[in-house]
């Protein structure tokens, strides 16, 4: 998957500004794909050059004009083409898991501290996803089926990570009991 496809997915039903897209990445599609404001704006420029999106200027008082992007027929055809291709396996890039793998050289107290910070972030993300799932349910799950299914995956991912984190915490606390103090 590329950023271009994530943007096209977000634009398939309604036009949006770059800011709107960045907010959607932070709140919903960020479940499965992360992007910075800069990456989004760069990709929008490329998509516009390739005629996969178009934009219109919306005047704003006291601010520069806003650009509202929408998917073009070329963009819709690219999205359909991409949707027909197999996705392939997901890649995991988790620096903390690498730290745990190399943990024999690490300070277990530092790992536990980082684990707690990451767990707090995951609990917050879980609460956000659960609230989003409830809103989608209230709006009508059938009408929001694909968004709902994506959010459910996010919920399950967060719960699984938090369960793993608890196992790590217990193992590190148990291992640190037998270590000599210096």
Q: Is domain 3-84 classified as CATH 3.40.50.300?
A: no
The reported pLDDT for the residue numbered 114 is 96
pTM of this prediction exceeds 0.85: no
The burial class, CB within 10 Å (0-12 / 13-18 / 19+), for 182 is exposed
Residue 178: is its pLDDT beyond 70? no
Q: 182 vs 21, which has greater pLDDT? A: 21
Q: How confident is the model at residue 4 (pLDDT cuts 50, 70, 90)?
A: very high
Residue 96: is its pLDDT beyond 70? yes
Share of the chain above pLDDT 70, in %: 93
Q: How confident is the model at residue 182 (pLDDT cuts 50, 70, 90)?
A: very low
If one counts every other C-beta atom within 10 angstroms of the C-beta of residue 153, the result is 13
Average pLDDT estimate for 134-161: 90
Q: How confident is the model at residue 89 (pLDDT cuts 50, 70, 90)?
A: confident
If one counts every other C-beta atom within 10 angstroms of the C-beta of residue 161, the result is 20
56 bridge partner residues? 68
- Those residues whose C-beta lies under 8 Å from the C-beta of residue 34, and which sit 6 or more positions away, are 25
Read off the DSSP letter of residue 53: E
Average pLDDT estimate for 116-135: 93
DSSP, residue by residue, 139-156: HHTTTTHHHHHHHHHHHH
The reported pLDDT for the residue numbered 179 is 52
Residue 57: is its pLDDT beyond 60? yes
**Of 47, 48, 53, 50, residue with least CA distance to 11:** 53
């Amino acid at each position: 998957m590329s950023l271009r496809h994530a943007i096209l997915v977000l634009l398939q039903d309604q036009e949006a500004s770059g800011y709107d897209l960045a907010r959607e990445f932070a709140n919903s599609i960020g479940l499965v794909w992360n992007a910075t404001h800069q990456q989004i704006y760069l990709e929008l420029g490329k998509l516009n050059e390739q005629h996969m999106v178009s934009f219109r200027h919306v005047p704003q008082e006291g601010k520069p004009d806003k650009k509202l992007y929408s998917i073009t027929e070329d963009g819709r055809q690219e999205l359909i083409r991409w949707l027909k291709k197999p996705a392939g396996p997901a890649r995991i890039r988790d620096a903390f898991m690498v730290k745990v793998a190399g943990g024999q050289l690490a300070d277990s107290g530092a790992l536990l501290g980082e684990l707690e910070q990451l767990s707090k972030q995951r609990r917050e993300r879980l609460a956000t996803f659960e609230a989003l799932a409830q809103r989608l349910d209230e709006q009508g799950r059938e009408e929001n089926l694909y968004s709902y299914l994506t959010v459910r995956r996010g919920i399950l991912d967060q719960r699984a990570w938090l369960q793993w984190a608890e196992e790590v915490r217990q193992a590190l606390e148990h291992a640190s009991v037998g270590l000599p103090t210096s």
